[in-house]
Amino acid sequence: MARHWQFSSHDSGRVESLARQMRCSRLVAQVLLSRNYTDAEQAKAFLVSKLSDLREPETLPGVSQAAEKIVQAIQENRRITIYGDYDVDGMTSTAILQQCLQLAGAQVDYYIPCRLEEGYGLNCNALRELHQADPDRLVVTVDCGISSTAEAALARQIGLDLIITDHHTMPEQLPDALAIVHPELPDAEQTEPGTFTPLCGAGVAFKLAWSICKLLGDGKRASERMRTFLKTAVCLSMIGTIADVVPLVNENRLIVKYGLATLKEQAGPGLAALMKIAGFDEKTSLTSEDIGFALSPRLNAAGRLGQARLAVELLTTTDQSRASQLAVYLDGLNRQRQSVERKILKQAKAVIQENEHWLEQNTLVVSHHEWHAGVIGIVASRIAEHFEKPTILVTFDTSNKIGQGSGRTYGRFNLHQAVSKCEEFLESFGGHAAAIGLKVKQDNIDAFRDALAEAAQERPTELEQQPRIIDAEVSLAELSVKAVRELDYLGPFGNANERPVFVATSITLAEPPRTMGEGGRHLSLKVNQFGQTMRAVAFGRGDWAEEIGKQTGPIAICFKPTINEFRGYTSVEMHLIDWKAEHELSQTNIA
């Protein structure tokens, strides 16, 4: 279904005025205005952001208490175990804290639960084993633990010291831990409530590491050695921030902007080897899309296929030979993950076709006995986009009849809130508004499906497809390499700061559409407008090829312009978002 297009209002006088004040192109000025940066002072504050603008770590709720406890454990020579997570955010969080404590001379190791056997977050068996091996150890969670009330109670009972650092949705009852670090935690020292709310797990871990470094220094400033480490830690935090798709605003924007600019310089042997495999050595500069679509999937594949420790090892190793081996292995795991993903996607669509009555509901809950638990989250996202419904995929282990589920939302629907209303049918769940993880008994799957659909029915407006906001209408001739590079100053792009979206009309095909990629998943077009020819690609939209090829008249295209660098040649390429027959443009609105 084509999304409704809504054009931002266009006031030529204001565009000219802002362009003159900012000494920028009219195109950049139009985008700034469409995003509510209405005067030069506002726009400059947005564009000219510096890493030094980061708020001191102690203003993050709970971080001072946690840092003091960790430094005390270092001084007492106690073992410190970082309890991480198996996604990219959890891996980078683990790597940040592990490197920090190792440089501080601590006895430090890390524990990553196996996605396939243990599932997400703290688990009681792991805590018992850690305590039995060393009763005096301190366990510090990263990117998990805020919902682990039972596990924290066990740790307290057996005498295992536990510090929790997390960013996921807070439950009504907090776990009983030695200290808790969380952006939404009420804290008298935080002068601006909600300041840190968008931080991902790696952002929280970076703030904690920064605070530890200051305490190990003179209390106000880290040593030169630790300041050098913190620069590397910002790059790791950048990767976690992009991978976890948190809003790129405020501090997240600063972290990502600095991290992208310095990653090649600051990367350790492991990241450098992985970037080379991803083709980053051919790029003069890196974007958030490079991280999100080329680097993160290679790291994530290790966690999804039960080998997250290898990804953490890659992020922390100083051995060049081992780094190269790990990079090659992770690249292979990613190709394996892609193959598994395609198979599950095909099976999930087949199950839905066999149960067409499910499509009458506002949500989808689809289960199977053969799916890989580490990959269903990616497929849930694709199914949600395809059927335009919040989707949860569940895979059952034939040995115990308890399924692991992973869900992704659609529109503005708060999936975590909806699932919490169906808690009686679940063994456990956790996550946030956009993504969810859960466990459910096979006998309860049908009741859960109906309960979730009922919860969604109470908030129908959240499920409505939002209009596609268009920053401006442009001609292809305007999209020179220089113009698109200037637009890049508005980045880094991502959640809450999307790459500029444009529309071009009177578009004809310079050659027939073709599909590309394994299984013809993607679409490649060569389009023409008034003699100007340009390439466009639409990822995951190979199904558009036949319909676009049948068009007899001109079309309008909605796209994001990007710079494509290949073998020393630089060109502008359009990432196609949507298209319409030109006569359908009358349905658009002005915002």
Dihedral angle sign, alpha carbons of residues 467, 472, 477, 480: negative
Using only the alpha carbons of the chain, give its radius of gyration: 25
Give CA–CA dist 72/520, Å, rounded: 57
Tokens for 532? 């100007």
Class of domain 56-238: alpha beta
> 83-109 burial, b if ≥16 CB within 10 A, otherwise e?
bbbbbbbbbbbbbbbbbbbebbebbbe
Class of domain 355-463: alpha beta
What φ, ψ does residue 394 adopt, rounded to 5°?
-125, 135
CA-nearest of 472, 452, 450, 353 to 410 is 452
Give CA–CA dist 345/542, Å, rounded: 15
Strand order in the sheet with 5-7: 468-470, 5-7, 589-590
What DSSP assignment string belongs to 352-400? HHHTGGGGGSSSEEEEESS--TTTHHHHHHHHHHHHTS-EEEEEE-TTT
What DSSP assignment string belongs to 495-531? TTBPPP-EEEEEEEESS--EEESGGG-EEEEEEEETT
Q: What is the CB neighbour count within 10 angstroms for residue 433?
A: 14
Give me the count of residues in the chain.
Answer: 591
Report pLDDT for 188.
Answer: 44
Within 374-488, strands assigned E span 391-396, 402-408, 428-431, 435-441, 468-470, 472-473
> 466-498 burial, b if ≥16 CB within 10 A, otherwise e?
eebebbbbbebebbeeebbeebbebbbbbbebe
Give CA–CA dist 407/394, Å, rounded: 9
pTM: 0.88
Give CA–CA dist 360/268, Å, rounded: 51
Query: Which residue in this structure is represented by tokens 């919902």?
Result: 147
- Provide the greatest CA pair distance for the chain: 77
CATH number of 5-35+471-590: 2.40.50.460
Domain boundaries, given as residue ranges, for the chain: 5-35+471-590, 56-238, 355-463
- Give kind and range of the element (H or E) at residue 255: helix 250-266
DSSP 295: I
Q: What is the CB neighbour count within 10 angstroms for residue 153?
A: 14
* Residues contacting 9, CB < 8 A, separation 6+: 34, 590, 591
Q: Are 93 and 123 in contact (CB under 8 A)?
A: no
Q: How far apart are the first and last CA of the chain?
A: 21
What are the pLDDT tens digits along the chain (591 aa)? 456 888 888 889 999 999 999 999 999 999 999 999 988 999 998 888 888 889 999 999 999 999 999 999 999 999 999 999 999 999 999 999 999 999 999 999 999 998 777 877 899 999 999 999 999 999 999 999 999 999 999 999 999 999 999 999 888 899 999 999 999 987 645 455 555 668 999 999 999 999 999 999 998 899 999 999 999 999 999 999 999 989 998 899 999 999 999 999 999 999 999 999 999 988 888 999 999 999 999 999 999 888 999 999 999 999 999 999 999 999 999 999 999 999 999 999 999 999 999 999 999 999 998 899 889 999 999 999 889 899 999 999 767 688 999 999 998 899 999 999 999 999 988 888 888 999 999 999 999 999 999 999 888 777 776 778 899 999 999 999 999 999 999 999 998 899 999 999 999 999 999 999 877 889 999 999 999 999 999 998 898 999 999 998 999 999 999 998 877 788 999 999 999 998 887 655 555
Q: Are 476 and 506 in contact (CB under 8 A)?
A: no
Q: Is 450 exposed, middle or buried (0-12, 13-18, 19+ CB in 10 A)?
A: middle
